[in-house]
Structure 1
Amino acid sequence: MTIQSAFQHEEKRLEDVLSHIRIQLRAIGPRYTGDDFTEQMIDLQTEQRRQRLEVSHREPYFGRLDFQEDAKSEPTPLYIGKAGVAHEQTNDLLVIDWRAPVASLFYAFSGGEDPVTYESPDGEIGGTIHLKRNLMVREGKLDRLVDSYVRGQEDESVTDEFLLYRLGESKDNKLRDIVSTIQQEQDRIIRTDKNKAVFIQGVAGSGKTTVALHRLAYLLYQYADRISAERMVIFAPNRMFLDYISGVLPELGVGDIKQTTYTEWAIEQLQKTVRIDDNADSLAYWFEQPRKREEMERSPGRLKGSMLFKQAVDAKLEAVEATLLPQQPFEPIEGMVLTPDTVQSWMLTDESSEPLMRRRTRLVSRLKRWFESEWKSRRMTDSKLKAKANARLNAFSKKIPSFTATQLYASLMDDESVAALLPAEDRTSTKKRMKQGTAAPEDLAPLVYIQLRLFGSDQPTYDHVVIDEAQDYSPFQLESLRLCQRRPSMTVLGDLQQGIHGYAGIHSWIELTALFDLDDSGYFELDRSYRSTMEIIEFANQVLRGMGDGVKPATPVFRSGEPVEVVSCEEMERLRLVKDSIQAWTEDGAYRTIAILGRTAKSCEAIWEHLTAAGLKASLVRSKQEAYGGGLTVVPVYLAKGLEFDAVLIADADAAYYGPDDAKLLYVGCTRALHKLKLLHAGTLTSLIQPQD
């Protein structure tokens, strides 16, 4: 069959499927507006189905796999899409959901005539692949067809053609789903068992964030009867990043998953009893000028986020519990005696797995019930005597102290074990913050951990937790999240090579993986970068030369582009050259998203003002910004992590701005670019960049 005849065949088949989708959409009636709860739930399910059908009408499928099961005489064409679509009368599948077991063949198969298998609910199914076809459908129209495999006609040159075509497209201001181009190594992670803490080390542009989001969609499909979207949570580094990834899950038909930052979540867990200290802005301190690695290692974030500090917190909690109960007998009236051993046994046997302060509350209630029972059994009626007994009961209850998380955390600063870890200045400032009801970012993990150990959480446990940019998390942060699950079910992803928050994050994945038993965890590496051209990736890899983090350098897909430009200029010319470069890129029209990365917030503001005065429409990204609008953007390099742009201009690649310990920061800047990268420097070029030939 020629390409033309195949295209015509697929167009006809596409129109047939679209006609069935339209029939099903027309059959859905108007929304229910009454008060009946059952009808409301039915309407909600119907509305979700309507939304899935509307997505399918725009792009019903993206792939075709002709699979011949063993013992069958002919192959069956299987069309793979974002959502399954069945015939409205026969219920035969017109489109197979990409998460279905058989669809795994589409992602796992890379050619060859050997038999293949997949795991179905009924066991292993074997067979042979006759055709693997990529299809691009946009707004109900077939735009592109690529056969990546035809049995008996091996042609490796077309294997990556469809992938390279998609990678070459321009970016907008939102992260896109990758369901049509999921690679074999990515699919293996997505389909990993639910009851594991999955750690993903992924180089810049390896698709780790989208893999994590697709994993959520897969888990909801595969374990629909055991987990729910409402009991999942995504942790991202900031609100702007959450806005950037916000379109992926709805496009995959998934909603109602909580998306937050660790700071917001922690303050919520602490019931807003603390607020972040405005003077504790670690971003400004750590990034506005180069910092030595030794200084980062001694930072409060590293110390308070360590497992040594957690051990000190655990010891404090154990000491509080051991001394919580009075050692004297309680005698509300003469002859009515409650021994310390009895009180202790009540504390230990009454819901002993409950948090400490909940058990304290339960114990106080039991003391009251004990007294009332004893009073009645003795048939006592003296009201004055009972009033005195109740006063003694209240006094005895007060001897069982009640703590808040901030009170216990402040008192922890006086313990010898903490004095051996933290400098006196930090311990003093911590106690001061607790009195003021404020907290530094590094205080949140121990505070939340103490809160959960004392009071538990008012929220249901999480079915699954996703942590993005996890290289910037401390072990203590992960421990606080572990308390919110019955058993480990996490997707923890990041890149040690982008660990720019070394003052708070980890230096090795072992710091986090060691928190889990081997049977409860899995570790994956994604070292293939799909974002940038070969020239950009090879340039960025050179920036990291000699870092020695034990992480493989990024391997680019075979997508060549323009060479990386490194341009020297005089300081007084810098702003003009930035403007001239952007004007040329803008007039060219090849790039939908352009970023200018500056080393500091102040330098970015100066660039933005210069561009605005020249009539260029640019947006300036500031700390704590909640949305990224696309187009032309000026952003401090330390706020650009997680984003990507068609073209990137690094405005100040000077030795004065990027010292030997800033390799990861410059690497982050370089790897934001998909197609074009240019660096300017005035005076001495940073030693992180090798001289260009």
Structure 2
Amino acid sequence: MPAEPSTLAAERAHLAASRDALRRMREHARGLSADAAADWVSRQFLESLLDQRVAALADHPDTPLFFGRMDRDAAVPSDLPDVMYVGRRHVHDGPEGRPLVLDWRAPVSRAFYQAGPADPMGWRLRRRFGFQGGELTAFEDEPLDGPAGGGTGPSRILTDEIERPRTGPMRDIVATIQPDQDVIVRAELPRTVCVQGAPGTGKTAVGLHRAAYLLFTHRERLSKSGVLIVGPNRAFLSYISAVLPALGEVRVEQATVDDLLGAPAGDEPAAVSALKGDARMARVVSRALWAHVRKPEDGLVVTRGASRHRLAGHEVRETAAALRGTTRYGSGRAAFAQRLAHRILVLMEQRGEAPDDRVQDQVARSAPVRRLLDQVWPKVTPEQVLYRLLSDAGFLRTAAKGVLEEDEQAALLWRRPARSHRSARWTAADRALLDELGDLIERTASLGHLVVDEAQDLSAMQLRALGRRCGTGSATVLGDLAQGTTAWSARSWTDVLAHLGQEGEVTELTLGFRVPGTVLDYAARLLPHVAPELERPRSLRAGAGALEVRRVPDLLPAAVRAAREALERPGSVGLIVPDAGAAAHASALEAAGLAHAVLGPGHDGAARLLVVPAALAKGLEYDHVIVAEPAAIAAAEERGLARLYVALTRAVTSLTVLHQADLPAELCDPPAP
């Protein structure tokens, strides 16, 4: 609606008062002291909390402090205020704490996202605010007390916010969360939620906002147990890094799977990686570990003073057998020593002695017990076990008997083993096996909540590794089966949840807000070939004129021209190319004098024009996308069509497809009716 001057002035005055109150809240937090703490450790902890509080109260002038308002229906009895402003954080004024802005995560704020004519939830009006550069410029009112289904169409302010050009990191979507997204965001902590989201449906943003919601609702619990965001690569984590701080959450850890399990130092054929990532390998490595526990050959003799105490061989074997496989390997080794020592103490008591617990510990650490322990239950590392498994054909055959076929065993066996486990070049698949072994030896610590994005690209063994890290907590699992690009990509979310060890419900988001309809329809031609079981995605935006497909005689000059044209329009530009062609395209842009960067380990994606290797495009988005040579992207790997589907769905405003070679036949199929 047109902004009435008097109403707009009043709303701007409320914004100014709210910003002033936030400044005073921050000054008050800065003035607090940790000196009252009882000791140095407590003082350091309190200082850290105060620093977090000050950081969380930071005011970003170009970020709206509030984005919506709700007016209460006076005819409905309620203790709620007549007017409620909803924003990114709570802001109050004065010693009595009069609320000026309510945090979007507060229970009362749910109505801003969920209320409608069918269920006004006690409110009569929803107002959305339009901002430009941090200045309030417009508002739009939506009556909630009218007939259901009698709306006038999508909010223009909401649509403008979704389509607003962007450069740099991902922005929060707190002002544009839709009802179906809000239900996921507000799912309670004990529930594990799995979101199958088509491109542009906001699944990543929903996962991040759920993390922010849970931290707000369960602050004390999660501040102790922790929240971790796991993404597919560092470029993706850099892209999403600004979302949670913008919502006031400044202490959430982010990591890739390689960060958690260890960076790979070697590579191997995709088929071997897929086999190592198979869930059956959990049984194989467990057998390999427990095979190191040997059957005792002799008894045990412990000398204490002038007395000799003897355990017969069968007693030692009984003690080992009672522990084998019933506990973790490391704790079982320690318990074996203690149980042997306890049996010695029983013998001592039978002779009239009166030993105590200190004597038992001494016996457990004695040389005879240590020698027997090393013979029967040797101390091992995950690297030692896996090295032996992959380099010793006989040992592998025993561990994999009845689990893997002979040809699978042959594929796993190293042709030229490293000299020792210390010089082995472990692959990404090996790292997951090492983590499995590490947990079998000593328990992995668990977090309170885990957010896993692009989960469809993780192997069963990698999922097991992540599941151990939320074994006593819950998870938010995000992904799209159609975008699975690894040799071990999941085909079912039921399987993903089972490997994580979590029971959860799967929600499918098919309505896109980010990708224009014409672009999404074009990319969806690939869907029957990469994930035929999924529902065809739809877009809220028609996107007329957003797609252009050009056949060009020379690819590099055409890419430079397309990049130059895209830079004439506002917003970010992503030139997505086959991995092997990134350097050539970068050189062509440099020769043409176009400032750019190449996305990769050395760059976080902050430039306006980016050359994006196709393998790194997942999870990212740009206002204008140029996809160069789709056939080369599709042919570069086994699941190349899925990689191409990812590349084609990164555009928010426009997509230009350049091809010198013929397009893949699957992309030439006519759109589904």
Q: TM-score, normalised by structure 1?
A: 0.83
CA 1:356 to 1:131, structure 2 compared with 1: closer, same or farther past 3 Å?
same
- Equivalent residue runs for 1:116-515 within 5 Å: 116=121, 128-137=122-131, 141-152=135-146, 156-228=151-223, 231-267=226-262, 276-278=264-266, 280=267, 299-317=271-289, 320=292, 323-324=293-294, 326=296, 328-332=298-302, 336-339=309-312, 343=316, 355-364=328-337, 367=340, 391-400=367-376, 401-413=378-390, 414-415=396-397, 416=401, 417-420=403-406, 422-429=408-415, 432=418, 435=421, 436-457=423-444, 460-501=445-486, 503-515=487-499
Question: In the alignment, is the contact (CA less than 8 A) between 2:193 and 2:506 conserved in 1?
Answer: yes
How many Å apart are 1:464 and its aligned residue? Answer: 0.9
Question: In the alignment, is the contact (CA less than 8 A) between 2:620 and 2:650 conserved in 1?
Answer: yes
Q: Which whole-Å CA distance do the structure 2 matches of 1:394 and 1:525 have between them?
A: 57
How many Å apart are 1:543 and its aligned residue? Answer: 3.0
Q: Which whole-Å CA distance do the structure 1 matches of 2:119 and 2:669 have between them?
A: 49
Q: Which whole-Å CA distance do the structure 2 matches of 1:64 and 1:3 have between them?
A: 15
Which residue matches 2:589?
611
SS at match of 1:628: coil
Equivalent residue in structure 1 for 2:549, among 547, 566, 589: 566
Q: Which whole-Å CA distance do the structure 1 matches of 2:480 and 2:459 have between them?
A: 14
Question: In the alignment, is the contact (CA less than 8 A) between 1:147 and 1:158 conserved in 2?
Answer: no
Q: Which whole-Å CA distance do the structure 1 matches of 2:501 and 2:366 have between them?
A: 50
Q: CA RMSD in A?
A: 3.5
Equivalent residue in structure 1 for 2:96, among 80, 90, 105: 90
How many Å apart are 1:684 and its aligned residue? Answer: 2.3
Q: Does 1:523 align with 2:506?
A: yes
How many Å apart are 1:176 and its aligned residue? Answer: 0.7
How many Å apart are 1:344 and its aligned residue? Answer: 6.5
Which residue matches 1:535?
518
Count of aligned residue pairs for this structure pair: 640
Which residue matches 1:112?
117
CA distances 1:315-367 after superposition (whole Å, capped 9, x unpaired)? 445555xx445264322358612256755676688999752123203433564
In structure 2, list runs of 5 or more residues that go unmatched: 355-361, 391-395
Q: Which whole-Å CA distance do the structure 1 matches of 2:602 and 2:541 have between them?
A: 35
Equivalent residue in structure 2 for 1:674, among 634, 640, 652: 652
Q: Which whole-Å CA distance do the structure 1 matches of 2:545 and 2:517 have between them?
A: 9
Question: In the alignment, is the contact (CA less than 8 A) between 1:11 and 1:142 conserved in 2?
Answer: yes
Question: In the alignment, is the contact (CA less than 8 A) between 2:467 and 2:500 conserved in 1?
Answer: no
Question: In the alignment, is the contact (CA less than 8 A) between 1:229 and 1:256 conserved in 2?
Answer: no
Q: Which whole-Å CA distance do the structure 1 matches of 2:176 and 2:633 have between them?
A: 42
User: Which segment is superposed worse, 472-481 or 347-356?
Assistant: 347-356
User: Which segment is superposed worse, 482-491 or 462-471?
Assistant: 482-491
**Percent identity between the two aligned chains:** 26
Equivalent residue in structure 1 for 2:534, among 525, 547, 551: 551
Q: TM-score, normalised by structure 2?
A: 0.85
How many Å apart are 1:2 and its aligned residue? Answer: 7.5
How many Å apart are 1:238 and its aligned residue? Answer: 1.1
SS at match of 1:525: strand
Whichever residue aligns with residue 151 of structure 1, its letter is D
How many Å apart are 1:60 and its aligned residue? Answer: 2.3
Q: Which whole-Å CA distance do the structure 1 matches of 2:574 and 2:334 have between them?
A: 56
How many Å apart are 1:43 and its aligned residue? Answer: 4.0
CA distances 1:221-240 after superposition (whole Å, capped 9, x unpaired)? 11123222762211111111
How many Å apart are 1:650 and its aligned residue? Answer: 1.4
CA distances 1:488-537 after superposition (whole Å, capped 9, x unpaired)? 40111111111111x1221222321334788x312111111121211111
Whichever residue aligns with residue 143 of structure 1, its letter is T
Question: In the alignment, is the contact (CA less than 8 A) between 1:471 and 1:494 conserved in 2?
Answer: yes
Q: Which whole-Å CA distance do the structure 1 matches of 2:419 and 2:66 have between them?
A: 55
CA 1:650 to 1:36, structure 2 compared with 1: closer, same or farther past 3 Å?
same
- Equivalent residue runs for 1:619-634 within 5 Å: 619-622=597-600, 624-625=601-602, 627-634=604-611
CA 1:15 to 1:344, structure 2 compared with 1: closer, same or farther past 3 Å?
farther
Q: Does 1:49 align with 2:33?
A: no
Question: In the alignment, is the contact (CA less than 8 A) between 2:89 and 2:104 conserved in 1?
Answer: yes
CA 1:221 to 1:606, structure 2 compared with 1: closer, same or farther past 3 Å?
same
SS at match of 2:536: coil
Q: Which whole-Å CA distance do the structure 2 matches of 1:448 and 1:581 have between them?
A: 46
Whichever residue aligns with residue 395 of structure 1, its letter is R
